[in-house]
Amino acid sequence: MTEQPQSYRRKPHVVPTDLPADVTPARVRTFVRRGRLSPLTTERLEQFGPARALPAGPFDQKAAFGRVAPLVLEIGCGHGHAAIAYAAHFPSHDILAMDVHTPGIARALAQADAAGVPNLRVEEGDAVVFLEERVADHTFDAIHLFFPDPWRKKKHTKRRFVSPTNLDLLARVLKPGGHVLIATDQDFYAEHVLAEVAAHPRWTASRLDRPTWRPRDGFEAKGIAAGRRINELRLDLV
């Protein structure tokens, strides 16, 4: 099997199994791991990955993009459709797209190359770990979270991305006046977000119109086809 490029090898966060009874793990995954890679995925990673991968070490926008510009992070970019559309619509901005699903990352890389958007970088990995370990305070102007896993079952509520801990983290890495855009076709998830934000002293939430630049595909298209409302939320730092 062809070895994956260094920038795209999985580096899973390992939770210890021998913790004392009064100690809990620091992180809870908000995603599900998947299986081995296909030849096409490996080929795409090798062909398109190096040009859009981040340099190792602490995140540095100028080193990654060759300039300093308004900077957006998309968490859970899937196949990259929204990130590519944003990059094309806002060429004066930079956008970093992240996901844990390697085939999706590979497809996003191939489609970004076809679209010819120079202001997009793609990184595989857990966004929470990335933000905690590699990102300085006040780095991003905005963060996008489009159609995250809603974790429907009550026992999985703690896996939802919007949580007090993650709201603290996003507040740290956003610049003053920064915001988060969230879209979901699950009303219960939108209510969860609004409740979490209402209980947090650093954030306010509002509903807004759908951004015109975002393509209608993927989970959004499925939600519309099923007759579900698309909830568009904006979280602002206070």
Tell me the catalytic residues.
Answer: 149
Encoding tokens for residue 36? 């081995």
The answer to the question of whether 154 is labelled as a binding residue is no
Encoding tokens for residue 126? 């857990």
Q: Cβ atoms within 10 A of the Cβ of 206, count?
A: 12
Quote the DSSP letter at residue 159.
Answer: G
Instruction: Please report, for residues 54, 65, 73, 123, 139, the alpha-carbon distance to residue 51 in angstroms, rounded to integers and kept in the order given.
Output: 9, 10, 18, 11, 22
d(CA 200, CA 213): 30
d(CA 63, CA 66): 6
The answer to the question of whether 99 is labelled as a binding residue is yes
User: Which stretch of DSSP H or E encloses residue 114?
Assistant: helix 102-115
The answer to the question of whether 60 is labelled as a binding residue is no
The answer to the question of whether 168 is labelled as a binding residue is no
d(CA 45, CA 152): 32
Among residues 124, 128, 93, the alpha carbon closest in space to that of 109 is found at 124
Half-sphere exposure of 70 (CA within 13 A, CB side): 13
Q: Which residues are annotated as a binding site?
A: 74, 99, 126, 149, 153, 185
